[in-house]
Every structure is written in structure tokens, then in C-alpha cells.
Amino acid sequence: MKKFDPKRPLWLYKLREYLLLFDGSSEEERMLAYRYGWHIFSINRQHFEDFSHFIRRRKWFVYLSLIYPILLTFLSLLLAISVLTIDVTLKVPMALIFSGITAGIIYNLIGNTLKNIRETSIFLKYVDPTEKLANFREFETLDFLDREAALLFYENMRAKRDYAVIETSENKLDKTEKLLAIDFLLGGPGTLNELINKLCLDPNCSLSKEGVYRVLGEILTASPDNIKKDITKKVSEIRYGANLSPKRIDQLRNVKAIFNQAKLGSKASEIDRLIDTMESPRVGLKNGVEYH
């Protein structure tokens, strides 16, 4: 089973945290473990407060798991050497020495874990969604396998560098751009139209296309007829990129800006490739002569 299995049950994730299985040898791995933990909590309909409470509780669990073995070793050694015929002033120091050796062994075994839990409060304060929303959003964009991004996030956290607040775009998307953005999010060209068709044909949904267009029209402040024209024709034409006008290319750029703002780089790159295809010079042959 892979380390950051996104489908792992919540109870199993908690158990692995208590067993210190997510405390690696690097700071970025701990950041990825936090991101993974929040993912598990969120898909189980838990709030960030629940996740925060859990990792705080884990902190004290680790401290207690360190204290109890040392205390038990101290008492055991004190009992063992009590039978020795040496002065009592020597027995206590001997017990302290052996307890210290035990503590050193334990610290070497879980020293990195102790460093991580010392940084728990720093982390929780840095990503507190009620006060540091931009930091929290950046934390949520971390991928479980992106160690480089996790290291950068850790360095910013330790340096107390807050991420910039994402400002609301002043260039509001028009109706066509909004539907275009939805279509890009769903997948290939015309996916939104296909989804509406499937829903309307599904007997369990009992939807009519006119009703769907009317609801979308209310949401996007447009007439149902215009919504229908955009979904069934305009959006697909733009996505296929056949002889797009400058206006259509500008609409693509506006949608791309929103994806960049939302840090959906793959979708922004997809639009870039489409625009590049439209703007690249067309080369052909006419009477055996190359022309542009």
C-alpha cells in the first residue's frame, strides 16, 4: 500500500500517525503528510478544526510516549540496583545515568518526530483559515508527491512569509466565457452539452433541457435561448478552434486568466496550446509554391 493512499480510511490514517509512520527524514515530507491528513479528514466530511485538534492531540501522545518509558526505566533500574550493596547516594545517580541513556536512545529513534511536533503550533498558526486564508489556500494546492513545492511552503512557513491574498478579478467573465470555463473543467469539447443530454435522458432525473437552460440562465443572468446557443454551438466551436475571431481568442484568454488565478495550470496550458494553434501562421502550397 502506498504511503499517501488517498482512499485510506480515517481510522487507519490516525493509527499510522500515532505509530509515527509519516515522520520522514525531511521537512517537506512532514508538510506532505499534513496535506495528506487534511485530505483524509476533508473527504470524511471533517472540518479543519477537527484536523487541528487531532494533530495537537498527537503531539501530546508523542510526548507521553517518551516520558513513560523513561520513567518506567528509571523506576526499574532504581528497584534493580536497590538490591546492590552500595551506598544509596550512588544508587540514584546510577538510575539517572541509565535513564538518560534510555532517553538518548529514544530521542535518536524519534528525534525527527520531536522536531515535527515542536513545529505543530507554527504550522497550525500559519495555515489558520480564519486568519491566514491565502496560506491555507496555498497549503490546499500542495500535491502529495510534489516535494519541491512542499519544501518551498515549509521555508515560507519558517520564515513567516505569508502568501499574497488572491484578489477578485475585476474582469468579470461574460456568459459565454463562464460556460466555456465549465466546459474546460469537465473535459473535452462539448462535455457540458453531453452531460446535459445524459441527465435529460436519464429516467431517474426527469429533467427537461428547457428547464436546465432556464436554471442556467437564472444563474448566469441570461435568456434560456442564449444559454442553449452557447452550450450547443458557440462553446464547442471555440474549443475546436476552427477559424476563431479575435473576440473568441480574447474570451479564451479571459478564461485562461481565471484558471491561472485558481492555480489550475494544466487547464491554462490547454488554452495556451489552443491559442497558439490559432495564432501560428498557416503554411500551404499553391501551384507548387509555399505561401502563408
47 shares its domain with 180: no
Residues 181 and 229 in one domain: yes
Cα gap 256→253, rounded to integer Å: 5
pLDDT in tens, the chain (292 residues): 477 888 889 999 888 888 777 776 677 888 888 899 999 999 898 899 999 999 888 877 777 766 666 666 667 666 666 666 666 666 667 667 766 776 666 665 565 666 777 788 899 999 998 889 889 988 988 888 888 888 899 999 989 899 887 655 555 788 888 888 998 888 888 888 888 888 888 888 878 888 888 898 888 888 888 888 888 888 888 888 777 788 888 888 888 888 887 778 888 888 888 888 776 654 444 444 444 4
Is residue 290 in a domain? no
- SS3 of 20, please? coil
Show the domain range for 215: 175-284
End of a domain among 100, 131, 158? 158
Shared-domain flag, residues 27 and 128: yes
Contact criterion met (CB below 8 Å) for 36 and 60: no
What type of residue sits at position 209? K
> Quick check: is 168 in a domain?
no
Instruction: Assess whether 138 and 49 both reside in one domain.
Output: yes
Same domain? For 15 and 154 the reply is yes
Say whether both 46 and 145 belong to one domain. yes
Does residue 5 fall inside a structural domain? no
How many structural domains comprise the chain?
2
* Dihedral pair phi/psi, residue 284, rounded to 5°: -150, -175
From the list 165, 162, 158, 154, the residue with the least C-alpha distance to 35 is: 154
Residue whose C-alpha cell is 485558481: 262
150 and 238 in a single domain? The answer is no
Name the DSSP letter for residue 45.
Answer: T
Provide the whole-model pTM. Answer: 0.54
Phi, psi of 86 (to 5 degrees): -125, 165
Asked, for residue 180, whether it belongs to a domain, the answer is yes
Residue 179 and residue 52 share a domain: no
Does residue 197 sit within a domain?
yes
Residue 193 lies in a domain: yes
In-domain check, residue 164: no
Beta carbons within 10 angstroms of residue 47's beta carbon:
11
**Residue 67 maps to a domain:** yes
- Regarding whether 153 and 187 lie in a shared domain, the answer is no
Q: Is 53 in the same domain as 125?
A: yes
83 lies in the same domain as 188: no
Domain-ending residue, one of 123, 158, 193: 158
Where among 158, 187, 205 does a domain terminate?
158
Assess whether 221 and 252 both reside in one domain: yes
Please answer whether residues 258 and 180 qualify as being in contact, where contact means their C-beta atoms are separated by less than 8 angstroms: no
- End-to-end Cα distance, the chain: 56
* Cell representation of residue 72: 518506567
